[in-house]
Amino acid sequence: MAASPIERPKPQVIRFVLPETIPYQPPELQFVASTAPAAAPDVKFSAARPFVMAGSSDTRARAQQCLAQAVYYEAASEGVDGQRAVAQVVMNRLHHPAWPASVCGVVYQGSERLTGCQFTFTCDGSLSRPARGEGWARANRVARAALAGYVHKSVGLATHYHTLAVNPSWASSLDTVGTIGAHRFYRGRGAGFAANAFVARHDGLEPTPFAQSAVRLAANPSRRDDRPTLAVQPVAMEAEVMTPAAQAPIPAGAPAPSLPASGAVLERYRDSGSWLKEPGST
């Protein structure tokens, strides 16, 4: 008995109906939409451009020393991430025309004034505590990387920070970038602090770090016990760790050398991180 033929189902036509909420786009408009540029990223989190330090060996060594000092005295108790963030703030200021065009100039800006220093350690006597040991070696590694093109993207174009223990008056006038370790980071608002505003160039020179401090001490000899004691001659650059300059004897009665706490601020210097002038002002 012959088998009955297999009946093949009739093909079904499936119709897709677009919801009324989805407008029809002709193919040519779809192409235009697909090739449109992406939305600009939030400038608050734009990464800085890499910077590679050039110049003579003395210039590079002096820049590394100044940057390493900022990392050591501002963030010695922080992890590497927090130390790199502090170094990036210095580099961001270097790239912006509102600040000096040298690493040492940025770090020691305002140190000739008792309440004008931008980084508190340059005028509160912290430099009387010698930088030494693994903490100093690590600070130099962080500084050397920043001067060789490393960019710490997590702080974007931040130009200011403060410890979580204080709440400075200027913080509300800036945009918060984020918090890393014991520091909160900020950047300026408006076109003056957009990514394309960070176009300043290094001037190729690095001033002697403590030249301005000498002016401050001459004007106020009563603070001579707090004066920086590091030698001013250029330091030697080594392959792995820059050798710190020779330390002068610590004045009698000074505290024993110890690893500085992150962001330690004496009461009389609590406002020393204030701007010398408001950003964007003339």
Instruction: Please say if the pLDDT value at position 108 is more than 60.
Output: yes
pLDDT classification of 213: cutoffs 50, 70, 90: very low
Backbone angles phi, psi at 212, to 5 degrees: -70, -35
What is the per-residue pLDDT for 34? 40
Orientation angle between helical segments 57-75 and 80-95, nearest 10 degrees: 130
Q: What is the pLDDT of residue 114?
A: 66
Angle made by CA atoms 205, 273, 96, in degrees to the nearest 5:
40
Expressed in percent and rounded to 5, the helix, strand and coil fractions of the chain are 35, 5, 55
Domain ranges of the chain: 43-251
The predicted pLDDT at position 244 comes to: 38
Please compute the mean of the pLDDT values over residues 238-246 and round it to a whole number. Answer: 37
Report residue 195's pLDDT band, with 50, 70 and 90 as the boundaries: very high
pLDDT at residue 50, as a whole number = 92
- Using CA atoms, how far apart are residues 44 and 186, in angstroms rounded to an integer? 9
Spatial CA neighbour of 219 closest among 114, 94, 63, 120: 114
d(CA 80, CA 138): 8
The span from the CA of 258 to the CA of 249, in Å, is 15
Tell me the C-alpha to C-alpha distance, in Å, between residue 58 and each of 50, 64, 101: 21, 10, 17
| pTM (predicted TM-score) | 0.63
Cα separations in angstroms, 178 against 87, 153, 181, 185: 15, 11, 10, 6
Measured CA to CA, the distance from residue 113 to residue 212 in angstroms comes to 9
User: What is the per-residue pLDDT across 215-235, written as a single tens digit (0 to 9) for each?
Assistant: 444 444 444 334 333 333 333
Q: Give 185 or 19, the one with higher predicted confidence.
A: 185
Burial of 222 (0-12, 13-18, 19+ CB in 10 A): exposed
Residue 14 clears pLDDT 50, i.e. is over it: yes
Least confident of 28-37, 89-98, 238-247: 238-247
Comparing 249 with 144, the larger pLDDT belongs to 144
Mean pLDDT check: name the lowest of 11-25, 65-79, 124-138, 238-252. 238-252
Pairing of strands 183-187, 175-180: antiparallel
| Residue-averaged pLDDT of the chain | 73
What are the Cα distances from residue 124, in Å, to 89, 111, 140?
20, 9, 22
Given a cut of 70, whether residue 43 has pLDDT beyond it is no
Q: What is the model's pLDDT at position 45?
A: 62
What's the pLDDT score for residue 111?
84
Residue 148 forms beta bridges with which residues? 52
Q: Which percentage of the chain shows pLDDT scores above 90? A: 48
pLDDT band at 125 (very low <50, low <70, confident <90, very high): confident
pLDDT of amino acid 13: 58
The string of pLDDT tens digits covering residues 51-69 is 999 989 999 999 999 999 9
Q: Can you tell me the distance from the alpha carbon of 244 to that of 237, in angstroms, rounded to the nearest whole number?
A: 9
- Identify the band that residue 47 occupies on the pLDDT scale cut at 50, 70 and 90: confident
Token code pair at residue 130 = 């010698």
Q: Which residue stretches of the chain are H helix? A: 27-34, 57-75, 80-95, 103-107, 133-147, 211-219
**Using 50, 70 and 90 to split pLDDT, how confident is the model at 93?**
very high
CA atoms within 13 A on the CB side of 43: 13
